[in-house]
Structure 1
């Protein structure tokens, strides 16, 4: 019996598991980059909301929405569709009625949770939960495959061999390419902070342009070569695409900061 259980567990460990956007490291990086650009008012209000948290920092709550699946399965199930939107089949043109019925997608979740966060009449618990969602979902929407094809579950069903192990395209973008660089978090932040943004980010209203973010991420998925032509990939793919993943992390941090400033600096 013990031998059977061992074999079963070993087999399970070799099966690629469902991936989260950016993984824990990527979400922490987006949150830390955002903190750099927050106003003093936004920082003070975030600090008040985070009082009592085990890790009362933006990076400390950045993966909370993924961890719901273990700690609060009911809420995790109800908010599962808030992590992504499938628009690649439609040329990356977002239409709420088609792609986000009932508001169940990352585009509308960012807007709805930002509104709750900005509403001073809401309870601290409601605003804290909204903050956790906003920090996470802005990171999610900048991972290209969270705005990709529904037919392969955002690349989760696109199987690959990388670095001698089985994986999938979604997992590769979440964490595989980042881990391959073998950098510590502080080194990543130094590297990402040095990336100039392609455009200046103007102040935004309380309704973040999350649809535009999703469409921009989706357009990356449609670029030639994003989906490898061979099942086994190596350093060439990583060297080509990791700089773009890094730019998306950098942009996610900057746009998260603008969103939080708009919601909390009034």
Structure 2
């Protein structure tokens, strides 16, 4: 009966609209695999003790896979921080300093603090690690800092090679899938960083991640109109941005986990 329920939940999952997700399955796995490559030995051991045989790449999608389970619906708002406009750095810092909402910013800070506690239960360690992996990656998808009024560009309708879609889904998965690479092939193609570059990205506070994503989202909102039919040229013009965000998400996730498990 338990097996039947598990398969039933999976069946429901694949019937759900994917527009509610951030980075598609491959996108999360790409950033998760990149992050694992930059973990310290101590952090790798700690992650292994919590995840067991589940790799970080596989764990990175757990937060989306359980969206069909009513007992986890309270986690929905953990995935994003929506804004009404392009924020200056000062406006972003001021907003986040006063932020008490249930959102990606407050919950990342919460999970980081919890995972540092020595007495945290095994169950909560697993929940918070899976969620932290996922949410750090999420906020590097620009439209997880998008507009409230269009649900992070889910209501920004356009066409991709003549197929109806929306801006959020395009950046979640369709641009990534268009490269026709497995997640391991994708990682091999883009995971080339210097020590200095990693140090620069990892020293940035979470507020800086959100600021960068918000600025990218605003640029992407303005260089495309609802109803546009996008194809090869859009891919050519935006692939470097996509790859950098996937790479930054992985590198910064590694930095967070190395700090937690130092």
Q: What TM-score, normalized by structure 2, do the two folds share?
A: 0.85
Residue number in structure 2 paired with 1:25 = 26
Contact 1:201/1:255 (CA < 8 Å) preserved in 2?
no
Q: CA deviation at 1:86?
A: 1.1
Report SS of the residue matched to 2:22. coil
State which drifts further: 250-259 or 194-203: 194-203
Structure-2 separation of matches of 1:182 and 1:237: 16
State which drifts further: 218-227 or 170-179: 218-227
Structure-2 separation of matches of 1:48 and 1:227: 45
Structure-2 separation of matches of 1:164 and 1:120: 53
Unaligned runs of 5+ in 1: 1-12
| Residue from 64, 69, 72 that aligns with 2:67 | 69
Structure-2 separation of matches of 1:86 and 1:138: 15
Unaligned runs of 5+ in 2: 1-13
Structure-1 separation of matches of 2:193 and 2:164: 31
Structure having the higher helix fraction is: 2
Residue number in structure 1 paired with 2:233 = 236
CA RMSD of aligned residues (A): 2.6
| Residue from 238, 244, 247 that aligns with 1:247 | 244
Structure-2 separation of matches of 1:221 and 1:203: 19
Contact 1:155/1:169 (CA < 8 Å) preserved in 2?
yes
Report SS of the residue matched to 2:239. helix
The 3 A distance-change label for structure 1 pair 182 and 200 is closer
Residue number in structure 2 paired with 1:39 = 40
Structure-1 separation of matches of 2:241 and 2:18: 24
Contact 1:88/1:218 (CA < 8 Å) preserved in 2?
no
Task: Please give the residue correspondences for 1:102-121 in structure 2 after superposition, counting only pairs within 5 Å.
Answer: 102=101, 104-121=102-119
Structure-2 separation of matches of 1:198 and 1:21: 28
Q: CA deviation at 1:42?
A: 0.5
Structure-2 separation of matches of 1:224 and 1:80: 24
Q: Deviations over 1:39-72 (max 9, x none)?
A: 1111111111112xxx5111111011112212x3
Q: Deviations over 1:75-105 (max 9, x none)?
A: 2x2111110001252525331376x433x11
Report the number of matched residues: 244
Task: Please give the residue correspondences for 1:142-221 in structure 2 after superposition, counting only pairs within 5 Å.
Answer: 142-194=140-192, 199-201=197-199, 209-221=205-217
Residue number in structure 1 paired with 2:128 = 130
Q: What TM-score, normalized by structure 1, do the two folds share?
A: 0.83
The 3 A distance-change label for structure 1 pair 73 and 198 is farther
Q: Deviations over 1:202-223 (max 9, x none)?
A: 5979xx8222211110101122
